[in-house]
Structure 1
Amino acid sequence: MPLAAILNATAVSGDKTDILRGQLIFASQMLIEYQARQAAHAGAQAIFIMVDQVTPIWSRMVDRLIGEGLDVHLMRDMASLVRLFPRDSDALLFADGMVVDQRYVSELGKAEGDALLVVDDDAATAHLERIDAVHRWAGVARMTPQTLFNTLDLIGDWDLALTLLRAIVQKQPARIVVERSDVLEGRLALVENQQTADLVGKSLSRPVNSDHAVVGVEAYTLDPIARMVSMRLLRQQMSAGHIRWGAGAVALGGLAALVPGWNLVALLLFLLALFADMVAGHIVSMTRMGAAHGWMRFLVPALVLCGVALLGYWSGARFDGLYLALIAALALLILDREKARPIPAWAYVSSGTICLILLAGIITAKLVIAYTVVTLLAIVSLGAMTLKRLGR
C-alpha cells in the first residue's frame, strides 16, 4: 500500500508565542523538517504539513525539501487536505512536536493497516495522550485511507491529530511498543521548547543510533573516530554535502599523487578521503538530510578504487589491481542494495581495508604480494557474501 504523511505544525512553543514547535531547531534543521525526512525515510511518497498560515519560513522550508526530491505540500485547511491527499495511500500521522527514534517510524512504515506507536503508561510518559489503562500514544500512527477519510469528513474544527488518534483506536489497531529504555534515554519526546529540542537532539543524533553502514577494517579503526567527529560537526551545523565534496577533492588529490609515483602519499590521501566520507555518511544518517546524497555516496569509494586499479597497473600488478577494484565495487553495490549485512563487518574487504593492506605492502616493499593477498581475500569475501545470500 502506498504511503503518505500528515504532519502538524500549528502548536505554539513554550519559548515564544511567535515560534511554533515545528520551527524549533532540531539536529541542525527545523523540527518539522526532521519529521518530514523521517517520514520520507520510512517510505512516504508525499508529505502534507498542516499550518495555520503560509509564511516565508514555511515556503523556504518546502523549497529545501523539494530540492531534496521530496513531494511536500502545505495545507491550511481540512478541505485542501481532503482534496489533495491520495485516496489510495495509507497515512503516517505525526503529532505536533513529537520526536521518535527512526527505527520505530520505519517499523510503522512497514506495517499493514491501522497501527499505533505506543509507550507504557507510567510516570515518565504521563504527559503523553492516554489510549487506555495500559498505553499512551507515542506520537506517530499509521492509518488506512478508509479510516482517514471517514474521519476527515467529520472533523470540522476539532484537533486533527487527536481526532484521528481516536478514530484509529476504535479500529483496534496493531500496537508497536517503544522500549522503556528509549523513553528514559530521550529517544522519544514531546518537544515544546528549544532547550528540550537541544537535549533530545543530542540523544537522538548520537552516532550510536546511526544506520550508516561501515564495514571492513575501518569499522574498527577509522569509524569510531568518525563517529565522534560527526557529532561535533553536527552541533556546528556543518553540511554533509560539503564534507563529501571535500572528501572527493582529497581522493582526487590521491589520484594526482600516483602520477609522479608518490604511492605512500596517495594511499594516505585515500584513507583521509574515506574517513571524511564516513563522517559525512553519519551526519546524513543522523539528520536524515539529503536522502544519503544519492550518487554522491559512491563518489569517494569509486575514486579510491580507481586509484587502487591505477596503482596496481603502475606497480607490476596490472590485472590484480583491476580485478580487485571490480570485486570491491561489486561488494559495495551489493551491500548498498540490500542494506543488511550477510556476513560480519570484519569479513568485508572494503576500500579502507584494501588501502591499509596496500599501505603495509609499500612500507615492507612487498606491494605486488600485498595485491595478490588482498585480491584473494576479496574473492573469498565476495564468495561468502554470495553463499549467504543464496542460503537465505
Structure 2
Amino acid sequence: MLAGLLFAIAESDDRPERLTATLPFGGVTLIEYQARLLVEAGVSQIIILVARLTPELLGAVSRIGKRGVTVDAVRHASEAAAKLHPLARVLMLADGLITTERVVATLAEEGGDALLVVPQAEAGAVFERLGGGQAWAGVARLDPRRIGEAARLPPDYDAQSTLVRVAEQARAVHVMLPPEALAHGHGIERNGGALAERGRAVLAAIVSDRRGWFDRWVLAPLARVALPAMIDRRWPGAGVGAAGGVLGMAGLAAIGLGWSVAGLALAFVACVVLGIGATLSGLRDEAGVERAQRGAGLLIPAAAALFLGAAEGGRAGDVAALAVAIAAVTLATLAERAGPERLRQWWWGSASAYLLIVLAGAALAWPVIGLAAAAAYATATVAAAIERLRPQA
C-alpha cells in the first residue's frame, strides 16, 4: 500500500495571509497538483499536515477527495501516524514543491527509506541541506515508523524537517534527482509570482514528456504556447473540447461533400485542439472531460479515414478504397490497444499521426496511397508492440 504525505504549513512570501499550498498553479491550487502527482504514482490515501484550515485549503481538500482517494487533514505527526497503515509506504512531498510525474515515480517503487537529493552546489536556498555535499530535493519515501519517531519529538519541531532528519538517521538511500529536472522547473517555491514562472517550465515539461513522436514534436510545441495563455485566461477545458469537436464534425462534413483535403485538415486541427484541451482538463482534475476529449481524439481520425475511403470508393465505383480505410482503422485500433503507454517507443503510431499521413497522401492527390501508408504504419506498430510484450508473457 502506498500513502501520500503533503504539507500545508508555510505561508506565501508575497501573500502572508495565504498558505503556499493554496496558491494557484496550473488552473488548480498547488496542493491539488501535488495530490494529482501522488494519485498518478499509485497512492490510495493522502494525509495533509496543516497549520490552519483556511477556506481555500478546505476547498482543495474537498476536491482532492473526489479523485477517489482517502484524504485526512491533521495538525500533528502523531495524528498522521495513527491514520497510517503499519505496512504502508509513505511518499512525502515538500511544502511548496513543484515537480513532474516522472520525478515522483522515481521513489514510488518498492523499497525502504529513500530521499531524493541534488548536489548542494545546485540546490536552491529552500532545499534542506544534508551531509556529504547534498541537499534534499523535496521527495521522500518513508517507512511509517519514521512518522511515529517524529511524533515522539517535541511538537514545536518543524515536522517536515524532522521527518527528513529521522530518515537520514535511519540511513535512507539517496536517489539523485534526474539532471534535466531542475531545467524543467523542479523546485520549492513560496512566492506567487515566481510560482507562476516556474509553473510554465513544468507545464512545458509535462506536455513534452510524451513517448510518441507526434505528441512530442507536433503537439507539445503548440501546447507550450497555448496552455499558459489558456490557464491565465481561465479557459474551460470543456469549451476547448467543444471547439475541437465542432472542428472535427466540420471536417467530416467537408470530406463527405468531396472536399477531402480541407476536411482532413480540419479533422487534424481538431485532434490538436482536443489534445491541448485534454492536457488542460487533466491539469484541472476534470477527469470526465479529459476522457471525453481523448476519446474524441481517437474517433475523429477513424471517422475521417472511413469517410475518405467511402468518398474515394464512390468516385472510383469500387470498394477498394473503403476496404483499405477499414483495414487502416482496424490496424490502428489494434495498435492503440496493444501498446501500453509505459512500453511505447518514440516511433510508434498514434491516431493523429495516422491522420497526418492520410492528409499528406490526399494533399498529393494520392488519397488511397495515404490510407495504405497509414495501414502499413499501424501494422509496423502492432508488430513492434507484440514483440515488446512477448518477453512479459
TM-score, scaled relative to structure 2: 0.85
Structure 2 partner of 1:375: 375
Where do residues 162-311 of structure 1 align in structure 2 (5 Å cutoff)? 162-179=161-178, 182-183=181-182, 185=183, 187-207=185-205, 210-216=208-214, 220-221=217-218, 223-283=220-280, 287=283, 289-290=285-286, 293-294=290-291, 296-311=293-308
Contact 2:90 2:144 in 1 (8 A): yes
Q: How many residues align?
A: 384
Shift of 1:295: 5.4
User: 1:15 corresponds to which residue?
Assistant: 14
Matches within 5 A, 1:74-89: 74-89=73-88
Q: Is the 8 A contact 1:94 1:161 kept in 2?
A: no
Q: How big is each residue's C-alpha offset from its partner over 1:111-155, in whole Å with a ceiling of 9 and x where there is no partner?
A: 511100112223744543222142222222111123333433556
Q: Secondary structure at the match of 2:14?
A: coil
Partner residue, 1:331:
335
- The range that moved more, 198-207 or 120-129, is 120-129
Question: In the alignment, which residue of structure 1 is the partner of 2:355?
Answer: 355
Distance in 2 between the 1:19 and 1:221 partners?
A: 39
Which amino acid counterpart does residue 46 of structure 2 have in structure 1?
Answer: I
Equivalent runs, 1:67-106 vs 2, <5 Å: 67-106=66-105
The answer for the alignment partner of 2:343 in structure 1 is 340
In 1: Cα distance, 2:94 partner to 2:71 partner:
17
Does the 8 Å contact 1:227/1:279 carry over to 2? Answer: no
**In structure 2, what is the equivalent of residue 384 of structure 1?**
384
DSSP 3-state at the match of 2:106? helix
Q: 1:375 to 1:203 in 2, by over 3 A?
A: closer
Matched with 1:321 is 325
What is the rounded CA distance, in whole Å, between the counterparts of 1:163 and 1:151 in structure 2? 6
1:67-103 residue CA offsets vs partner (Å, 9 max, x unmatched): 3444433223445423333333111112222223432
Change (3 A) 1:179 1:187: same
Residues of 2 paired with 1:375 and 1:299: CA distance?
A: 20
1:59-70 equivalence runs, <5 A: 59-70=58-69
Counterpart CA distance in 2 for 1:200 and 1:140 is 18
**Secondary structure of 1:386 counterpart:** helix
Letter in 2 for 1:29: V
RMSD value, Cα? 3.0
Pair 1:261–1:30, CA change in 2 (3 A) = same
Distance 1:150 1:222 in 2: 48
Structure 1 residue 206: Cα displacement: 2.1
Q: Is the 8 A contact 2:338 2:386 kept in 1?
A: no
C-alpha distance in 1 between matches for 2:173 and 2:25: 30
Q: Is the 8 A contact 1:231 1:283 kept in 2?
A: no
The answer as to whether partners of 1:52 and 1:76 remain within 8 angstroms in 2 is: yes
Q: Which sections of structure 2, spanning at least 5 residues, go unmatched?
A: 314-320
- Displacement of 1:177: 1.6
Which structure 1 segments of 5+ residues have no match? none
Matches within 5 A, 1:144-155: 144-154=143-153
Cα gap change, 1:123/1:92 in structure 2, threshold over 3 Å: closer, same or farther? Answer: closer
CA distance in 1, matches of 2:244, 2:371: 25
Against the structure 1 CA distance between its residues 234 and 334, is the aligned structure 2 distance closer, same or farther, given a 3 Å change threshold?
farther
What do the CA deviations read for 1:240-278 (whole angstroms, capped 9, x no partner)?
443234323322333344444443332122101111123
What SS is found at the alignment partner of 1:7?
strand
Q: Match for 1:230: what amino acid?
A: L
Specify the code of the residue in structure 1 equivalent to 2:204: R
| Residue 355 of structure 1, CA deviation | 2.7
Residue 169 of structure 1 and its aligned partner are, at CA, apart by 0.9
**Compared with structure 1, are the counterparts of its residues 283 and 376 closer, same or farther at alpha carbon in structure 2 (3 Å cutoff)?**
same
Aligned residues of 2:361 and 2:370 also touching (Cα < 8 A): yes
Question: How far apart, in 2, do the equivalents of 1:97 and 1:370 lie?
Answer: 49
What CA distance in whole angstroms lies between the structure 2 residues aligned with 1:235 and 1:366?
A: 43
